[in-house]
Chain A
């Protein structure tokens, strides 16, 4: 089959690779009909999320048709159309049974490696480094889906692929970012990053009752999408001296009630602090650049919540813990518990509350995946979201 392979830093190639096989009896093989490039794939592309091996198949947002199942798969049959959550979860362990699917205790075969890096292991995930199990990803013609009786969501009501594809990751991730803010009447929510996850976080914050949502980015076309498609107010951080002071002023001195970091470890900024973080990262003195997170912490109102859905991989410097402690801030975070949100969000799509297709700007054949990564990385041609079709 054809698959998008990580060949090294800023190098991906669509290559011929062996078809996936059933390895466990709860596996299914899915013939992929639509897949997408995620902002977090760019962290892999840029070499910030490790360890990767040359030839690893990328992609964790995909859907398609079940073409083969293991003998223990009871909930699916050949021919079913499914969206596959990017996290792999067994459904049986204590964490799964407490609805914390991205913390599944059984689905990461490289748990020993992850324990050394993170203290405890997380769940497995598709196409997202060997720290999450080294599972082959879904920017390919086929994928093996473990625990197929637990994760994949059957799609039966005539939705197009593009309407439901993002249930695999970015829609639930943005929604969880907003849900973690515990939004109360009158709340203003600030969202760093107006990429696809940021837009879904903005939209979700409104769905969950926010009075105002403020989107922060440096690309005017993305801020325009936040305003026009999601109803947000916006701040271009390159045009203001201080993002946190701007937000505090926009909220009459209170600060946003909750702040969502939908940027993560490759944040950009300007000024001395940004230069210091870039240098430290280049010298491997810190692995992550927490610029958006620092701004969020400084801006947030006293007693407010910081919701972290942008990806971080390791260590950060100059973390304002004193601000968090003295101003009684709460940090909530996590890789999305996708399984928890797929059904409720499908219902919201069905009744028209949210149209996930709003983020799509580019549609390419799978064979052009490398071009898709470049366009997305360089924000060429007002790129917001790239969807790939294997045929």
Chain B
């Protein structure tokens, strides 16, 4: 099994941060590889992720443990393409610092089917991907949106220059 974990501090109370995450439909707002997450009842949910070349990867998951304001643990249901388990802990940070959020994922070692799919989704650096997702989560919780850059102008000398976002939005959202 491969285990990766990453954490971030968010200047909001643990209850608020937990609530936002527990509303699983919110996750694609900051997890750039997710297209859609839908609760299907009884702690179960259906996940759709973007894969390269316009492909989609789908799986079902269930929450196996949760403590409001503290913890959510989930695992992919048997038969899913991506067998994995995950948890997210919410702990009060010192003084006025808000909440420490720690995400951990466990999945088959690369080479297995799930490992290969996760490598496809997360690229070669799953830890960096989680770190970036958590940074966007912090932006959404603290400022209301994922912050975009107008980025670079490229292709100089080729007529009107192209503009691109330095950081792709997960989805465009209001505050």
Tell whether A pairs with B. yes
A-side interface residues toward B, CB under 8 Å? Answer: 5, 7, 15-18, 20-21, 23-26, 53-57, 71-72, 90, 92-94, 97, 105-112, 124, 130, 133-136, 144, 146-147
For A15, list chain B residues within 8 Å (CB).
156, 161
Docked-complex contact A55 and B152, CB < 8 angstroms = yes
13 contacts between A and B (CB under 8 A): A7-B156, A18-B163, A20-B150, A26-B143, A53-B152, A56-B153, A90-B147, A94-B98, A109-B167, A110-B167, A112-B135, A133-B149, A136-B151
* Closest CB in chain B relative to A19 CB, distance in Å: 10
A-B contacts besides A94-B9, A107-B147, A133-B166, 8 pairs, CB < 8 Å: A24-B148, A26-B143, A54-B156, A55-B153, A90-B139, A90-B142, A110-B149, A111-B135
A183 to B44, CA, bound (A): 63
A222 to B174, CA, bound (A): 50
Give B93's nearest chain A residue, CB to CB.
A94
Give A94's nearest chain B residue, CB to CB.
B11
Give A27's nearest chain B residue, CB to CB.
B148
Docked-complex contact B149 and A26, CB < 8 angstroms = no
For B175, list chain A residues within 8 Å (CB).
25-26, 72
A20 to B151, CA, bound (A): 11
* Closest CB in chain A relative to B167 CB, distance in Å: 4
Docked-complex contact A134 and B149, CB < 8 angstroms = yes
A92 to B141, CA, bound (A): 10
* Closest CB in chain B relative to A111 CB, distance in Å: 6
Query: Among the interface residues A57, A106, A108, which one has the most CB atoms of the partner chain B within 10 A?
Result: A106
Q: B79 on the interface (CB 8 Å rule)? A: no
Docked-complex contact B145 and A53, CB < 8 angstroms = no
For B144, list chain A residues within 8 Å (CB).
25-26, 72
Give B148's nearest chain A residue, CB to CB.
A23
Partner of A136, one of B143, B150, B160: B150
Docked-complex contact B152 and A130, CB < 8 angstroms = yes
Docked-complex contact B160 and A124, CB < 8 angstroms = no
Docked-complex contact B138 and A105, CB < 8 angstroms = yes
Partner of B174, one of A55, A71, A94, A147: A71
Docked-complex contact B156 and A18, CB < 8 angstroms = no
Q: B62 on the interface (CB 8 Å rule)? A: no
For A130, list chain B residues within 8 Å (CB).
152, 166
Give B11's nearest chain A residue, CB to CB.
A94
Docked-complex contact B147 and A124, CB < 8 angstroms = yes
* Closest CB in chain A relative to B87 CB, distance in Å: 23
For B98, list chain A residues within 8 Å (CB).
94
Give A143's nearest chain B residue, CB to CB.
B150
Docked-complex contact A17 and B138, CB < 8 angstroms = no
* Closest CB in chain B relative to A60 CB, distance in Å: 14
Give B135's nearest chain A residue, CB to CB.
A111
Docked-complex contact B131 and A112, CB < 8 angstroms = yes
A18 to B153, CA, bound (A): 9
* Closest CB in chain B relative to A123 CB, distance in Å: 11
Docked-complex contact A94 and B147, CB < 8 angstroms = no
A23 to B169, CA, bound (A): 10
**A16-B160 contact given A90-B147, A112-B128, A124-B147, CB 8 Å threshold:** yes
